[in-house]
Chain A
Amino acid sequence: MSNLVESLSNSKTPNVPNWCPGCGDFGIWSAFKLAAQKKGWDSSNSAIVAGIGCHGHMVNFVQITAFEGLHGRSLPVASGIKMANNNLNVFSFSGDGDSLAEGCNHFVHTARRNHDITLILHDNAVYGLTTGQTSPRSPKGYVSKSTPAGSVEEPLNPLTMAIASGATFVAREYAGNIEQISELLIAANEHRGFSLVVILQPCVTFNHMYTHYFFQKNTYYLDKTHDITNKLHALEKSMEWDLNKIPLGIFYKVESPSYEDQIPVLQSGALGMRNIEVRNISDLYKGFA
């Protein structure tokens, strides 16, 4: 635990986190800083992006160059950063509303393209920042400000969707498991391609169903018998969600060239760090007369 204490005092900013006491976001914050400490992630080698939601406040509490964009749009910004500088470790902090409602289109397409970025999805099954409406992760029957009689919609499953869409690293953790999350983030970052790390994140203020206690009681780790390269098994496991039966760990991991690995222009160093010069276009005049 001394590692953890150290991480709380380094790679953080002068700002004091303003999440509700007990919020799962504290765990994700600590785990990220721990991983950053271990791997030396800083503004010279890493960039973080966030969506809008309670999760997005992260940019104010981590000492790494950040882009806090618009609700739902963290993934295209992250993809742009990675294409412009493929030497950077790129992390996107997003929420279940952010990535699965407003930005669901980007979620599917970023997975499909296998951009080499890590999406940390704060899954609290509710809209936290807007004070408690139903989210695409809320279970059927969920009572919230926007669904006073209980939601009649089925939730979306980000793990299943990501695997089906072409993500090459798909994992889940619970916000209380700080050391494990930090290991997982390191593995996700080292993986070449799109990595989804879903964190079950209790919203202590607005979600009284998915509490710390609930996740501590009902989660278990996938063991060695789970073949992480088998897509069908991974899909099957991703759909498991029951009392005492919520799997954690890496569901799916396969090697496949990332988007950036396949673009010839990006093989000669960071695009955004190159000298910008006036180009001679006279070769392009052919065909114009």
Chain B
Amino acid sequence: MPNAQSKTSLNPNVFTFKIGGEAGFGIMSAGLNFAKVATRSGYHTFDYTEYPSLVRGGHNVMQISVSKDRVDSQYATTDFLVALNQETLNLHEHELIEGSGVLYDSDHNIDVSHLPSYVKTFELPLTHIIKEVNGSMVMRNSIAIGAALALLDGDLNILKTLIEESFGHKKNDVVSINHKACQIGYDYVLKEHAGDVKKILTPISGFTFNPDAPSLLLPTGNEAIALGAVASGMSFASIYPMTPTSNILHSLAPHQEKYGFVYKQPEDEISAINMAIGAAHAGARSMVATSGGGFALMSEGYGLAGITETPVVIIEGMRGSPATGLPTWTEQGDLRFVLHAHQGDFPRIVLAPGDVEEAFHASMLAFNLAEKYQTPVVVLVDKFICESHSSVAPFDYSNFKIDRGKLTLEKQDGYKRFAPSPDGISLRTVAGSGNHFVANSDEHDEIGYSNEEIENRNTQMNKRMQKLVTCSAQDMQAPVVYGPKDADVTIVSWGSNKGPILEALKVLPNVNYVHITWINPFPVEKLKQLLDNAKYLINIEANFSGQMHGLIKQHTGINILNNFVKYDGRPFYPEEIVERVKGI
């Protein structure tokens, strides 16, 4: 966490709320409830969680940025801190600024005496309140959120509804005890501190929340990817659990019967990708999801899909690496890995969405591209996107059409699965169609029989690689520019850095941002043009070696001299981007 050197916030239009405590006590669901109260009151939110790779023990924290307008990032300063233990205060007190509030468990021996006078503290005797309602320790969160809502002018009834929604299936008294608990928390702080209430979550006048058709949703990147897969007609997913993408499988598994797809937990990632390839060979729209470590095991199957021309969608959620690395932290260190994994050359399409909305659309598109080009498509995301909730309007995919490319399920005369064609794409079929072919990991001829002749090798290799040329012409998307057309400084970046960069841009009027979402094929011409026209370039990315920097140089010959990299597992903060740009 960078030091909040200036004791003011970067953007007064964004309110930052943080709740922290020991892992295993529902910090994340409490934080999400807070974000939902804000959503249902008409606000936009973005949240960011930090937690160690443990189920219990260790420090959990969730920060929620709240704003009347769209907000895309966490911030380095905290306007309101809920500390359920001393550690939370120790780790985050430096984020407090002029006017920040701290709500703390006064039954937990938390020492607030050393806090600067410009920070307002609010005690809350959680153990006493729990005793009073005959509740359990997990309720501390409900009480604390109730109290926070009181101090921020939030609507307690929304929290009560949320409690009903999450405990509704349990016994009624669980709901009523929690209701009582949050009400006591709410009343307690109001009695003492009615004069300190800030109008942060005041329901926006004229806004009504419609539970059946909410105007803003609050999914994570994982959830958006899962929704995109379902929308895109995905029919088979084999996913071995791994942070940060496990929630994709958790989001898919319960809905198989309703939507008619299969989710399968395999014995390892090698099996995962081979099952997905087998299912695609028999006609399913297949996917896998993993992180770098699982993708290492999938590398073998990645090229198998390439040479057998079998469509498969691979979601790769990066985390701190190598090896087990920083399991629950973010990084962008696998860019080169997905571009080069596996021996030799085969056409691979790599997309890198930059936020929840882009993740949804990339997920939908990936299935079309995989089938159209009969090759693996990687959607490269990271922990920061995968696990952060962010406000988005319900996804609009009304223009999306399923494109299965050149595919026949009927028996064809004289069928040749790998017949050459100018665009590199042959007529595909599936096992069970009656058409004989061999999907062969050995180099093969037009039918698929093993063949090591020079001419055949060149024909098949050229045919496969031609697909990338076709894809560049027909589907590849150019980088998107945010901010003014003419700017003094141009930031170049990719993936989840988009959010913090867009927040930074809000206070940097003469700066624009070139956001790259297609990694392979790479939008060389368009990017070169944008960068050639820029006055000053700075590249931002979350890995040690500047992998995108190298890729840009390789493709365009442009050597960006100012490179802001970071590999400590934490996402970029708007503050540090502003500082870096101002230092130019």
Q: Render A264-289 as a binary contact track against B, CB cut-off 8 A, 1 for contact.
A: 11101011111011111111111111
Q: Is B231 an interface residue (CB 8 A)?
A: yes
Q: Render B338-380 as a binary contact track against A, CB cut-off 8 A, 1 for contact.
A: 0000000000000000000000000000000000000000000
Q: Is B217 an interface residue (CB 8 A)?
A: yes
**Tally of B interface residues using CB under 8 Å:** 78
Report B263 CB to chain A, min CB distance, Å.
9
Contacts A65-B436, A289-B40; is A70 near B236 (CB within 8 Å)? Answer: no
Q: Which of A31-39, A56-64, A203-211 contacts B (4 or more CB under 8 A)?
A: A56-64
Q: How many A-B residue pairs have CB under 8 A?
A: 226
Tell which of B230, B272, B279, B308 has the most Cβ of chain A within 10 Å: B279
B276 touches A81 (CB 8 A): no
Q: Which of A82-90, A147-155, A156-164 contacts B (4 or more CB under 8 A)?
A: A82-90
B236: which of A83, A87, A109 is its contact (CB, 8 Å)?
A83
Chain A residues with CB under 8 Å of B136's CB are none
Interface residues of B in 276-321 (CB under 8 A from A): 276-286, 300-301, 304, 308
Q: Is A181 an interface residue (CB 8 A)?
A: no
Q: Which of B182-190, B426-434, B461-469 contacts A (4 or more CB under 8 A)?
A: B426-434
B450: which of A45, A60, A69, A79 is its contact (CB, 8 Å)?
A60
Chain A residues with CB under 8 Å of B40's CB are 289
Report B236 CB to chain A, min CB distance, Å.
6
Q: How far is the CA of A72 from the CA of B276 in the complex (A)?
A: 16
Q: Is A225 an interface residue (CB 8 A)?
A: no
Q: Which of B19-27, B126-134, B395-403 contacts A (4 or more CB under 8 A)?
A: B395-403
Chain B residues with CB under 8 Å of A67's CB are 278, 281, 308, 431, 438-440
Report B64 CB to chain A, min CB distance, Å.
14
Report A16 CB to chain B, min CB distance, Å.
11
B438 touches A43 (CB 8 A): no
B441 touches A68 (CB 8 A): yes
Q: Is B260 an interface residue (CB 8 A)?
A: yes
* Interface positions of B (Cβ within 8 A of A): 36, 39-40, 165, 209, 211, 213-214, 216-219, 223, 227, 230-233, 235-236, 238, 255-262, 264, 266-268, 270-272, 274-286, 300-301, 304, 308, 394-395, 397, 400-402, 404, 409, 411, 430-442, 448-450
* Interface positions of A (Cβ within 8 A of B): 13, 15, 42-45, 47, 49, 52, 57, 59-60, 63-70, 73, 76-85, 87-88, 105-106, 108-109, 263-266, 268, 270-274, 276-289
Supply 18 further A-B pairs (C-beta < 8 A) apart from A60-B438, A80-B281.
Answer: A60-B450, A65-B435, A73-B300, A73-B301, A80-B276, A80-B284, A84-B235, A84-B236, A106-B267, A106-B270, A264-B257, A268-B260, A276-B402, A279-B232, A281-B230, A283-B258, A285-B394, A288-B218
Offer 23 A-B interface pairs, CB within 8 angstroms, sorted by A. A44-B433, A65-B437, A66-B437, A66-B448, A68-B441, A69-B274, A70-B274, A70-B441, A80-B279, A83-B264, A84-B235, A84-B236, A85-B282, A108-B267, A264-B257, A265-B262, A270-B283, A271-B236, A276-B285, A278-B231, A279-B231, A289-B36, A289-B39
